[in-house]
Amino acid sequence: MQLKYGFTFILSWFFIINIIISTVTIILERKRPEKTIAWLLIFIFLPPLGLILYIFLGRNWKRNKLNEEFSPYVKDLIQRVIKRINDPDYVHLIELIANTSNSPLFVDNEITIFKDGTEKFKALKEELEKAKHHIHLEYYIVKSDGIGNEIKDILIRKAKEGVKIRFIMDRMGAIRTSRRYIKELRDAGVDVAIYSYFLAPFLRFINTQINYRNHRKIAVIDGRVGFIGGNNIGDEYLGKGKLGYWRDTHIMVKGDFVLGLQGVFIDDFWAIKKVNEGRISHEKEFDKYFPKPEKSGKKIMQLITSGPDYEVPAIMHSILKMITIAKDHIYIATPYFVPSESIMDALKVAALGGIDIRILFPGRYDHFTVYYASRTYLAELLKYGVKVYLYREDAFVHSKVMTVDGKISTVGTANMDIRSFELNYEINSVIYDEEVTKKLEDMFLEDIKESRLMTLEDYENSPKHIKVIEAVSRIFSSLL
């Protein structure tokens, strides 16, 4: 009996010490109040599991850092002046992106928009087949399924032809990619780099940062054509998954913007190789990766990058700025909607000021908790006059697009949520062009024709158990 009481006494003190250490740790990190409260609830109700979860999901150890700025050599190749933009409303946005992402203006570009994976992969495969010097791919999710194997077979064939191929995958995103798939690529000479975020050396081989991911989706072929957008590599992006038709937005760019994509890729690749292998191998003819771009068009673009160890959330700041300069309307397409407080306030202010704001959101979910947390934020905006459209329930919308006033737009990998703003490495393009923006808006308007309007009455009449789920999901939304 005495032994039992002794064990209970020790266990009680263990839980108390666990809560004290956990609480002090998270408070000293000075996270946003709502995030701090969410973690404190986890510590209280799940000791000592809460501390373990925090180590794996909450801490930012800032060890394996993807570079937050272009290499000096790349900067010299891609500098442009700001004078090409005549509209004073956009000068401050340009300067903001230049300061937070070190991005110049790319002024000679041709842009092709794809509305789904069928269009995107058709173009990607065609461009891969044309490769003469190098292929650079950086994808969050890579699956060894139908389209994954098609891409693999092309890469192996091109590698045998002497094309230099580098392929960045995220460890979490490629968790279901077979070892054989990666081995076949490496055996053919493809240089595969796996991004993973590691804790201090005493846990060197345990991936403690499953919450910090490389969510970028980049393809660069011969330094002349680039791809950026929402599609990963997998059959579901072709509409062959359980969610049905997959509505996504991806763009192909030819022009000097590709040099920016190339700079981001190479900096990412070198950073990962240095951590994983302790070395960086420079090539003698490095300038061949940055050929003089052909003047393909007159589309003006900028590049925004962000990540968990960047000093400022550059993509969130750019979106915030775009919202504040809107004069007529804002169209947003996003699969997840867990925005920061500043983004929510900006949308409310814009809506109250008469700006027509429309948001396209999935009618079904692929992430249960995120979906129901998102609904609470969307319902909150309904009260301010924002229109929310739920996409058809036999499909899934995964686009990450925002357009403003039919003049400027952003397309990239970042969702409208805290994860993309603060936890993931992301990359977005900003397009200063009315023609391209109009095409994106026409696609958006076609999408809402296939959607149903979400009303505040429908939301408030939801079953009680759904309201409970939403309330709980909202509490932990800052951690999603």
Specify the pLDDT at position 71.
45
Pairing of strands 299-306, 106-116: antiparallel
Q: Which of 29-33, 125-129, 217-221 has the lowest mean pLDDT?
A: 29-33
Confidence at residue 468, expressed as pLDDT on a 0 to 100 scale: 92
The region of weakest confidence among 14-18, 282-286, 346-350, 452-456 is 14-18
Flag whether the pTM goes above 0.75: yes
As a whole number of angstroms, the distance between CA 168 and CA 171 comes to 10
Share of the chain above pLDDT 90, in %: 61
Measured CA to CA, the distance from residue 410 to residue 248 in angstroms comes to 14
How far apart are alpha carbons 281 and 139 in whole angstroms?
22
User: What pLDDT is recorded for position 211?
Assistant: 60
- The pLDDT assigned to 98 comes to 87
Model pLDDT, residue 56: 46
* Main-chain dihedrals φ then ψ at residue 453, nearest 5 degrees: -75, 130
Confidence tier at 288 by pLDDT (50, 70, 90): confident
β-pairing, 329-333 with 408-412?
unpaired
Residue 212 has pLDDT above 80, yes or no: no
Beta carbons of 424 and 412 less than 8 angstroms apart: no
Round to whole Å and give the CA distance between 401 and 367. 19
**Residue 209: pLDDT band with limits 50, 70, 90:** very low
Contact of 147 with 234, CB cutoff 8 Å? yes
Question: CA–CA separation, 182 vs 193, rounded Å?
Answer: 10
Question: Worst-scoring range by mean pLDDT, 105-119, 155-169, 295-309, 402-416?
Answer: 295-309
Of 86-95, 145-154, 164-173, 202-211, minimum mean pLDDT range: 202-211
Q: Quick one: angle between helices 146-160 and 117-130, nearest 10?
A: 10
Q: Which of 29-43, 125-139, 297-311, 338-352 has the lowest mean pLDDT?
A: 29-43
Interstrand relation of 299-306 and 225-229 (parallel, antiparallel or unpaired): unpaired
CA pair distance 110, 258, nearest whole angstrom: 10
* Average pLDDT over all residues of the chain: 84
Residue 450: what pLDDT?
Answer: 97
Highest mean pLDDT range out of 288-292, 367-371, 438-442?
438-442
Catalytic annotation, residues: 215, 217, 222, 398, 400, 405
As given in the structure block, the two tokens for residue 421 are 């703003």
DSSP state of 135: E
**pLDDT value at 408 more than 70:** yes
| 180-196 per-position pLDDT tens digit | 999 999 999 999 999 87
Cα 50 versus chain centre, distance:
27
Stretch 50-54: mean pLDDT:
50
The pLDDT value given to residue 142: 97
Say if residues 402 and 420 touch (Cβ distance below 8 Å): no
Mean per-residue pLDDT for 8-30?
54
Residue-wise pLDDT for 228-275, tens only, equals 999 999 999 999 999 999 999 999 999 999 999 999 999 999 888 888
For residues 194-213, give the mean pLDDT. 52
pLDDT of the residue at 47: 59
Q: What is the DSSP string of 291-324?
A: PPPP----EEEEEEEE-TTSSS-HHHHHHHHHHH
Question: Is the model more confident about 63 or about 319?
Answer: 319
The CA-to-CA distance between both ends of the chain, in Å, stands at: 45
pLDDT score, position 35 = 54
- Is pLDDT at 128 greater than 90 in this prediction? yes
Question: For residue 226, what pLDDT band results from cuts at 50, 70 and 90?
Answer: very high
pLDDT exceeds cutoff 90 at 358: yes
Question: Which of 24-33, 109-118, 164-173 is least confident?
Answer: 24-33
Q: Is 360 helix (H, G, I), strand (E, B) or coil?
A: strand
Residue in 165, 221, 219, 218 with CA at minimum distance from that of residue 188: 165
> Residue 422: pLDDT above 80?
yes
pLDDT for the residue numbered 42: 57
Please work out, in degrees rounded to the nearest 5, the angle formed at the alpha carbon of residue 196 by the alpha carbons of 99 and 214: 40
Tens-digit pLDDT profile for residues 68-89 = 444 444 344 434 444 555 566 7
Q: Is 110 helix (H, G, I), strand (E, B) or coil?
A: strand
* 158 torsion bin: left (phi>0), alpha (psi -120 to 50), beta (else): alpha
Q: Is pLDDT at 110 greater than 80 in this prediction?
A: yes
How many CA atoms within 13 Å lie on the side-chain side of 409? 30
Query: Are the C-beta atoms of 61 and 250 separated by less than 8 Å?
Result: no
